[in-house]
Amino acid sequence: MAFLELNGVQKRFGEVAAVHDFNLAVERGEFVSFLGPSGCGKTTTLRMIAGFERPTGGKIEIDGSDVTYRPPTGATSGWSSSRTRSSRT
């Protein structure tokens, strides 16, 4: 069993499917990053894993515990969104 598992995770905002049937298995100690164009569901997926968004379908498990609908205060994960900004003076 993987440390982090997403099984058929979905998130809809009205008619828009931000994340559709996403599956992922991450073993303890693995490092994972999500890459893709703007609007493809990266941040929404991370927010669901962290507990800030509730999926509209599927299941999220961390270390064998179902955290699909657990609030962020009960989650055992964290995330940071990094943005590269450049400024010239």
Which pLDDT does position 55 carry in this prediction? 97
Closest to 34 (Cα-Cα) out of 80, 76, 68: 80
Average pLDDT of span 57-74: 90
- Overall average pLDDT of the 41-61 stretch: 95
For residue 15, the surrounding DSSP H or E stretch is: none
Helix (H) or strand (E) segment spanning residue 53: none
DSSP for 52-75, written as a single string: SS--SEEEEEETTEE-TT--GGG-
pLDDT value at residue 77: 56
The pLDDT value recorded for residue 63 is 93
Asked whether residue 74 carries a pLDDT value surpassing 70, the answer given is no
Please tell me the pTM assigned to this model: 0.81
